[in-house]
Amino acid sequence: MRKQYAWRSNALAGLLAFFAFAILAQIVRIQTSPEAAAFREQGMEYATELRTFYPDRGEIYDRDGHLLAGNRTVYEIGVNLKSMRDPGAIALAVSSQLGLDYNELLNQMTNPPQGLSYLVLANYVESDKALALQTLQQETQNQAASGTLGALTGLEFSSHPQRSYPENSLASNILGFVNREGRGYFGIEEKYNDLLAGNPIQVMVPTDPNKAVEIPHVPNGTTLVLTIHRDLQAAAEQILDKALTTYGAKGGTIIVMDPKTGELLAMAVTPRMNLNEFWNYGVVYDNASEFDQAVSVPYEPGSVMKVLTMAAALDSGTVNANTPFLDTGAIMVGGATIQNWDRQAWGPQDMVGCLQHSLNVCMAWLSTSMGAETFYGYMNRFGLGRLTGVDLAGEAAGRLKIPGDEDWYPVDLGTNSFGQGVAVTPIQMMMAASSIANDGRMVTPHVLYAMMREGHQYNVPAQYAGSPIQQTTARTLSEMLAISLEQESSLALVPGYRVAGKTGTAQIPTPEGYYDSTHTNASFIGWGPVDDPQFMIYVWLEQPSASIWGSETAAPVFSEMAQKTVILLDIPPDYIRQQIAAK
């Protein structure tokens, strides 16, 4: 009997073992089959979703850490149409807080497009207004629970960043702006848009909120530090605005640059705009070139060009500082008569006198004495007619006609020498003249000082654009320009500091092909202290009505700007620096 039961037990155990083995084999088969892999992928899709994470746009600071462009949180306010209970209450609350039309809001919610489940009521709403609506919604939650009217159930809030400019219009021409699609326009915002915007990341993230720790870290866009000195920029804008009123000018530009490094310390232009209201761009400007005329608008500079002509003549050995010149008031070039600005003869002069009295005849004599090949060779080395490479969007190249061009005539060799018939931007003249202030080395103007990303700072080194003249030429000419200002008691002089510089008064060409003698562009370019230049300033006033002469308009603006610059940059007067150097 016991043997019979033992046999049955063994048979049952074997049968169970067989079924267990079969089940195990089936599990292995299912797990390793192609169908199983497809099911696993499908399960992963249900457990995760593909999402794009956008970084915060990089901030922009001045050289001393003042925030010029940052980000602030704004809100999109919408309504979930499926959970909405009282559209009238929502319309009333939103219209009263945001100043929107009640009837329009109510109509949008009660007559939405077919199939729409979520309706955007307002976007880019300030945080305080969104918070007020959220508070009101919380206060009405009890009413929503009891089903009474007046509940704000269905009202939803979604936060997102928006570009913010704490200084409003300060340095607006340098910064540019970002539109609501996140794209930078003009200035730094456009030039470095990709760096500032950063790189969005697409990843599969878990739908389970308990696994939120698996959401990846997205590095913010690159933070930029500019060479701009905030207080100096503010002073330049204030001085420029006052100059427009004082001299009745149509517009203007003031640039302050370190001539040794090319760092732009200030760049004020008119008009300017509040960057937080970028949608007013079309109201403020007629075309894109007006946004930053310092880099985008070429004009005939007039007599400031004479510093380059004299530099070429000295460097080529055509003349020296003491070379005599008899000014008869007129000179023939290419069959045309060139006269001085006052149509007078100034008699015996040396090269300092030619600069001091701004003699067109003397400059034409210099350019013709050098010859076209030498003269235009130097102008080309100074970078005229080419982009400087300044790191601001929208730079224009200007125009330097040369022999061989269809519209170049032999008389241009004479008129170009004193800034007529050649078009430059203020930033081009700054770069070219930096070779005179910087011992012959020409610097590339720039506004980016450093980049900061993921805790690391990368400084931008100074860049040089060549050496168009020798060191001895640069020092000789700087001294000549300083003497010429001192001998004429120029309004550009700066108490306590020796400065070098040159005025410019350029008649404006008309579409009819002649020059309008009643409207001029007044300019001044200068640098100092002469023995150790630490600043270079360019002033351009468009069509001043109080006086057409640069010596009476642009020159005093230079002096005022220079006096403010030495204070803000803490540059000691000459006698103090010389005492320190003598110790």
> Which pLDDT score is estimated for 110?
86
Average pLDDT of span 406-426: 94
Secondary element (H or E) of residue 539: strand 535-542
> Which pLDDT score is estimated for 264?
98
Instruction: Give residue 482's region: left, alpha or beta (phi > 0; psi -120 to 50).
Output: alpha
> Which pLDDT score is estimated for 47?
61
Report the C-alpha gap between 444 and 291 in whole angstroms.
21
DSSP string, 458-486: EEPPP-B----S-HHHHHHHHHHHHHHHH
> Which pLDDT score is estimated for 554?
95
Tens of pLDDT, residues 529-572: 999 999 999 999 999 999 999 999 999 999 999 999 999 999 99
In the structure, what pLDDT confidence band is assigned to residue 145 with cuts at 50, 70 and 90? low
Tens of pLDDT, residues 235-266: 999 999 999 999 999 999 999 999 999 999 99
Tens of pLDDT, residues 268-321: 999 999 999 999 999 999 999 999 999 999 999 999 999 999 999 999 999 999
Tens of pLDDT, residues 432-464: 999 999 999 999 999 999 999 888 899 999 999
The number of beta carbons lying within 10 Å of the beta carbon of residue 493 is: 22
> Which pLDDT score is estimated for 408?
93
CATH number, domain 230-582: 3.40.710.10
Picking from 11-15, 82-86, 157-161, 181-185, which range would have the lowest pLDDT averaged per residue?
11-15
Report the C-alpha gap between 499 and 46 in whole angstroms.
74
Task: Show me where the domains of the chain are located.
Answer: 72-100+118-141+152-165, 230-582
Most confident of 45-59, 160-174, 449-463, 473-487: 473-487
DSSP 31: H
In the structure, what pLDDT confidence band is assigned to residue 497 with cuts at 50, 70 and 90? very high
Asked if 144 and 153 count as a contact pair (C-beta separation under 8 A), the reply is yes
Asked, as a colleague might, if the bond just before 324 is cis with ω within 30 of 0, I would say no
Average pLDDT, the chain: 88
> Which pLDDT score is estimated for 2?
53
The number of beta carbons lying within 10 Å of the beta carbon of residue 95 is: 18
Residues in contact with 553: Cβ distance below 8 Å, sequence separation at least 6, in sequence order: 243, 247, 249, 522, 541, 544, 546, 547
DSSP 147: T
Picking from 320-334, 512-526, 535-549, which range would have the lowest pLDDT averaged per residue?
512-526
> Which pLDDT score is estimated for 320?
96
Tens of pLDDT, residues 24-83: 766 666 666 666 666 555 555 556 666 666 788 999 999 999 999 999 888 888 888 888
Q: Which of 464, 462, 461, 463 shows the shortest CA–CA distance to 441?
A: 464
pLDDT at 215 over 70: no
Tens of pLDDT, residues 562-571: 999 999 999 9
DSSP string, 415-468: HGGGTSS-BB-HHHHHHHHHHHHTTTPPBPPB-EEEEEETTEEEEPPP-B----
